Amino acid sequence: MKLVHPDFEFSIDFSDGSMTALFFDSPPLMRRFLQSFLNQYENDDGSFVLSENGSEISLQNNVSLITDPICFEINDKRLATKVQNQLKSFIVSEDMYEATNEVLANINRYSERVKEAFTYPITNSEAEATGLIKLLNFSLAYDYENELEKLLEYMNMMHDICKVSAFMILNLFSYFSIDEVRTFCNEARLHGHSVLLVDSNLSVSEQSLEFLRKIIIDVDGCQLF
């Protein structure tokens, strides 16, 4: 996959395992870039073009934006919706059909007892399989020891469940050392993820950063290298 925008001369390679760091020398320019990306990410309408094999594809469906690598929602809406839909099918599958019906029957018997014993006349809807998912409040369980492991676990889930393998992460160098980011990028590459790190930390951009492709955008919007 490749990401381009008519107002910026650089292109971002999102092929399997690619690691890119995009540094902006101008905060207003970085803000314009991110505002444009975020608007298209949320509304799926804008000037960014994400393409694969020469055909344009949806930015919203194929890239995950992580604006805060420390405090992000690990059970985000896309993941939660996919998991809920899979659970709805799973609990009425052949393996779970009998157990699900037994639980529903018990709930319906309980509701009848409540209606008979309550002071006033009341009514209710019959328990359904889909209602069990909401009642039990299932969510994905993650196993991690630090924030970068948490981030990688999230990316793995997005890849496995939502088929998303391209990630844009903001200001990672503001929270982690170069060695930590290097380890993270190497792990992400092993899992087949493509990562774009967007940052304004120019002191980091002066380092070699041999583990990724480095793009620096000056105050005029020109690509230095």
pLDDT per residue as tens digits for the range 71-83: 888 878 889 899 9
- The answer to whether residue 225 is domain-embedded is no
User: Of the given ranges (40-49, 100-109, 148-157), which has the lowest mean pLDDT?
Assistant: 40-49
Burial class (CB in 10 A: 0-12, 13-18, 19+), 104: middle
Q: What is the tens place of the pLDDT at every residue in 167-219?
A: 999 999 999 999 999 999 999 999 999 999 999 887 888 888 899 999 999 88
CA distance 129 to 88: 7
The answer to whether residue 222 scores a pLDDT higher than 80 is: no
Whether residue 208 sits in one domain with residue 150: yes
Residue 225 pLDDT: 64
The structure's pTM equals 0.85
Whether residue 131 sits in one domain with residue 50: no
Containing structural domain, residue 113: 83-136
Residue 155 pLDDT: 94
- The answer to whether residue 18 is domain-embedded is yes
Q: What is the tens place of the pLDDT at every residue in 96-109?
A: 999 999 999 999 99
Average pLDDT, rounded, for the chain? 91
Number of domains in the chain: 2
Residue 134 pLDDT: 87
CATH number, residue 198: 3.40.50.11940
Whether residue 101 sits in one domain with residue 60: no
